[in-house]
């Protein structure tokens, strides 16, 4: 932010009012992590679609299916299933 913009925000109340959030229900709140970490990675769109379909077919969530897959991967390589 330039110093001119900072000065304008400090003196111009209309700019300040535009920056204020009045509806806090639309603010996205961070989910509770409970000792967990996000593992974002890319997969082909077809794989994502198949995962969604399988979650519905198995009456589960994508999260639960991926945790099961990760635990299977750990066990396959001689590690404890800790996911």
Model pLDDT for residues 26-64, shown as the tens digit of each residue: 666 565 678 889 999 999 999 999 999 999 999 999 999
For residue 48, what pLDDT is reported?
97
pLDDT at residue 17 above 60?
no
d(CA 34, CA 57): 28
Does residue 9 contact residue 15 with C-beta atoms inside 8 Å?
A: yes
Q: Report pLDDT for 1.
A: 63
Closest by CA position to 30, among listed 38, 21, 22, 42? 38
């Amino acid at each position: 932010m330039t110093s001119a913009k900072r000065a304008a925000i400090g003196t111009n109340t209309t700019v300040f009012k535009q920056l204020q959030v009045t509806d806090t229900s639309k603010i996205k709140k961070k989910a509770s992590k409970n000792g967990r970490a996000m593992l974002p990675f890319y997969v082909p769109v077809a794989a994502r679609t198949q995962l969604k379909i399988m979650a519905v077919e198995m009456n589960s969530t994508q999260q639960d299916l991926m945790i099961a897959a990760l635990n299977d991967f750990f066990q396959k390589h001689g590690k404890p299933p800790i996911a």
